[in-house]
Amino acid sequence: MDSITTAASVVAAGLAVGLGAIGPGIGQGSAAQGAVEGIARQPEAEGKIRGTLLLSFAFMESLTIYGLVVALVLLFANPFAG
């Protein structure tokens, strides 16, 4: 792998993780805030709130995982490496 490909891969990996974590991070923070407020207001609905939170977190965090996987592939299994 030549030096330009290596440098581009490292920069792209960093951007993939960093940019991919911004949106889900904000979304997860607001979702967790809403869930904790909901549990505090209505403790008897805790099970349903936690279940919905689990579903939404699983789908939100998969966006972060996509970026993470792209970054790891670029670093450890780069398809552009000659």
Token duo for residue 41: 């207001």
**3-class DSSP assignment, residue 59:** helix
- Under rule CB under 8 A, residue 72 binds other proteins: yes
CA gap 67, 39 in Å, rounded: 32
Q: How far apart are CA 74 and CA 5, in angstroms?
A: 10
| Near other proteins by CB under 8 A: residue from 1, 10, 19, 55 | 55
* Mask for 10-39, x = binds other proteins (CB under 8 A): ------------------x---x--xx--x
CB 78, min distance to other proteins, A: 10
Residue 48 interacting with other proteins (CB under 8 A): yes
